[in-house]
Amino acid sequence: MYDCIIVGAGPAGGAAAYHLAKRGRSVLLLEKEPLPRYKPCGGGLSPQVAEWFDFDFSPAISLKINTIRYTWKMGDPVDAVLKTREPMWMVRRDVFDHFLVQQAEKQGAVLKDNTEVTGIEFSSDRWQVNTTNGSLTGRYLIAADGAKGPIAKWLGFKERKFRMGGALEAETPVHLQNGQIAHLEFGMVKNGYIWNFPKADGHSIGIGTFRGGDPHDLKDTLAEYAAQFGIELKTSQQHGHPLCLWEGDQTLHTQHAVLAGEAACIVDPLSGEGMRPALFSGCKAADAIDLALSGDLAALPRYTQIINEEWGSDMVWAQRLASMFYRVPGIAYKVAVKRPSATYRVGQILCGELRYADVANQAIKRLSTSFLPGMGS
């Protein structure tokens, strides 16, 4: 019997497996796909996450960038240099996720990939996890199986508060001039944006809507955007997927189990960022399970409190900004995105050097003023 069974080998599951195994706990990591596996994701990641681990992520980083180009309907460009301590990381999820799992395995975690969970049962003081490759038992369970995973429902989480968004992404081997610039386009999609993130061997192009929407309705817009770069998306495989956006404080623990990553609906409701909060939640889940295994009965409730306070409290400000920004994006682009100080602060937020709470009041005041008659257009 394992101390902990983790379902899902994404950033949350990998982080939890690493930290639990490093503390000497017996850990089983289950993943339904064979690793390494493709995962649609823009792959922009804050270098802040390195602070949560004691190994070098360099082998898993495809590229580092320090310039973002914003556009409004492919015009009115703004180039923002990220004057942060470290450049933004660009990663490919098949490489990054597998690398993180390999670090967990080096600490003693056991991986069973190509193994789908078919059901779970709690008996006495342990979980029985039924899979396509037999049944396994663990004292604790971490559900890190993503936005579409079934574990949260099986654990009895009925109506978690979240807002569904959608994204559609494609990988392309095309190399562009000035290929080390991340592109963000705000005017072509309602309630979201389009991105073109460079990698060492090509680009990830995607489109997301963060206030409702079906990812499959975004194909034509994404194709139109890609054509501006001379990229024909019909030759690229496209992947649509839902996003579980943070929508307020929620309970993330139950009997001998916690939710982490997108299963916990922790995606940033303004930017759609999911990897950094997933890694954060995986680290905190490992802390909680480790303490619970040592007899701390309050460890799992405290995990819920930590995520709500340390991540959720800032997402309240992200929600407020998203509500204003996506309501009048044209005005927001003029009075916020185009301001040099704003782009600098956005870079600091993306790289983990600032929180939304540090800048939201001033940004909301500026946006609100622009809504007044005669003050904006």
Count of helix runs (H) and strand runs (E) in the chain: 10, 18
What class, spelled out in words, does domain 2-62+91-160+247-318 have in CATH? alpha beta
Q: Is the pLDDT of residue 57 over 50?
A: yes
User: Whole-number mean pLDDT of the chain?
Assistant: 87
CA atoms within 13 A on the CB side of 236: 25
Write down the residue that tokens 């660009």 correspond to: 90
Q: What is the DSSP letter of 215?
A: G
Residues sharing a CB contact under 8 Å with residue 194, sequence separation 6 or more, in sequence order: 184, 185, 188, 205, 206, 207, 208, 221, 222, 225
Q: Report yes or no: 236 and 171 within 8 Å, Cβ to Cβ.
A: yes
Architecture of the CATH domain 163-244:
2-Layer Sandwich (3.30)
In which band, very low, low, confident or very high, does the pLDDT at 47 lie, cut at 50, 70 and 90? Answer: very high
What confidence tens digit (pLDDT) does each residue in 83-129 have?
778 889 999 999 999 999 999 999 999 999 999 999 999 999 999 99
What confidence tens digit (pLDDT) does each residue in 285-316 have?
999 999 999 999 999 999 999 999 999 999 99
User: Across-strand partners of 30?
Assistant: 7, 112
Q: Is the pLDDT of residue 344 over 90?
A: no
Q: Residues 233-239: what's their mean pLDDT?
A: 75
Which of the pair, 377 or 280, is modelled with greater confidence?
280
Q: Out of 49-63, 307-321, 322-336, which region has the weakest mean confidence (pLDDT)?
A: 322-336
Q: Residues 254-258: what's their mean pLDDT?
A: 97
Domain boundaries, the chain: 2-62+91-160+247-318, 163-244, 321-371
User: pTM for this one?
Assistant: 0.92
Q: Is the pLDDT of residue 16 over 70?
A: yes
Q: Out of 123-137, 192-206, 356-370, which region has the weakest mean confidence (pLDDT)?
A: 356-370
